[in-house]
Structures are given as C-alpha cells and as structure tokens.
Structure 1
Amino acid sequence: MEIKVIRFRFKELLAEKEFQERRVVPLAEVAEQTGIHRATLSKIANSPGYNTGTDVLDRLCIYFKCRIEQLVEHIP
C-alpha cells in the first residue's frame, strides 16, 4: 500500500515572513493573530501528515496572504 502525505509549508512561509520583516515571528504571535491554538500550529510545523481542518488552512492563507497550494503540498 502506497502512503500519501499532505505536507505543510508552514515553516517555509514563516521563515519567509521573518526574512521579509527582518525579525523573529514567534508561534504565539501567529496564534494570536489567526485564532489558531499554538499547539495546533506546532503540530502543523512539526508533525508530518498532521490532519487539520479547512478553517485552519483558510486562516493561515489569510495570515500569510497566500494561496492554498503555497501552504500545502500533496506528496504521493
């Protein structure tokens, strides 16, 4: 059986935001601005294959001002 994974590009987008703004952006700040619990953000960042809802994806797209395909990637 072939395992398929959805890969979140959260860390890459966060690193890009930090570079653009020339500062460290803590998860607590992302949590506060998006309304997403810090633990959920940590799981998205660190747990391959983590499953989250579309509302969380929507809020992250708004926060990073990106399209969904810039946030998630399907790895067959």
Structure 2
Amino acid sequence: MIRFKLKELIAEKSFQEGRRVTIEEISKSTGIHRTTLSKLSNIKGYNASTDVLDKLCAFFDVKISDVAVFIKDE
C-alpha cells in the first residue's frame, strides 16, 4: 500500500516557515482540489495521479519519496 505523507509535509513546512500552512493554501497554490488533498491525508490507499504528486513535490520542494512511501501489507 502507498501511504502519503501530506500531514508530515504540512507540519514540517509550517515549522520551517513559522506559520500555519493550510489545505486551502496548498489547493490554491497547486490547483489540486481540497477534497483530493483531504483524501490524500485521511484515506488509506487513496489513488493519486502522477500530476497531483508532481504538484505536491513542486509545492513542498521535495522528492517523490518524501511525499509517498510504500508499506508492505501484512
């Protein structure tokens, strides 16, 4: 299963910039719908397109491995 680390990325960016980063801000900056961002954060196994992943990498200035991680099903 792929797990998205959106909550961690938001927390890290908020800490680094000393301000609150919101889903709304990410949505406006990337063009990714708020519902999609919420699903990435909260639904296990949510299916995201490569376009969404690309936009998140650009927004957070990170590699794909910082956005998503593979977790082996037990």
Which of the five TM-score ranges fits, normalised by the shorter chain? Answer: over 0.9
Asked if 1 retains the 8 angstrom alpha-carbon contact of 2:10 and 2:22, the reply is no
Structure 1 gaps, min length 5: none
- The Cα shift of 1:49 comes to 0.7
TM (normalized to structure 1)? 0.92
Root-mean-square deviation (CA, aligned residues, Å) is 0.5
Count residues with an aligned counterpart: 72
Find 1:32's aligned residue among 5, 17, 28: 28
Runs (4 or more) in structure 1 with deviation over 4 Å come to none
Q: Which of 57, 61, 65 in structure 1 is aligned with 2:61?
A: 65
Q: Distance in 1 between matches of 2:54 and 2:71?
A: 20
| Gap runs ≥5 in structure 2 | none
**Which string of whole-angstrom CA distances, capped at 9 and with x for unpartnered residues, describes residues 38-58 of structure 1?**
000000011111001000000
Whichever of the two has the greater Rg, that structure is 1
The CA distance in 2 between the partners of 1:13 and 1:56, in whole Å, is: 15
Where 2:59 maps in the other structure, the secondary structure is helix
Aligned sequence identity (%): 53
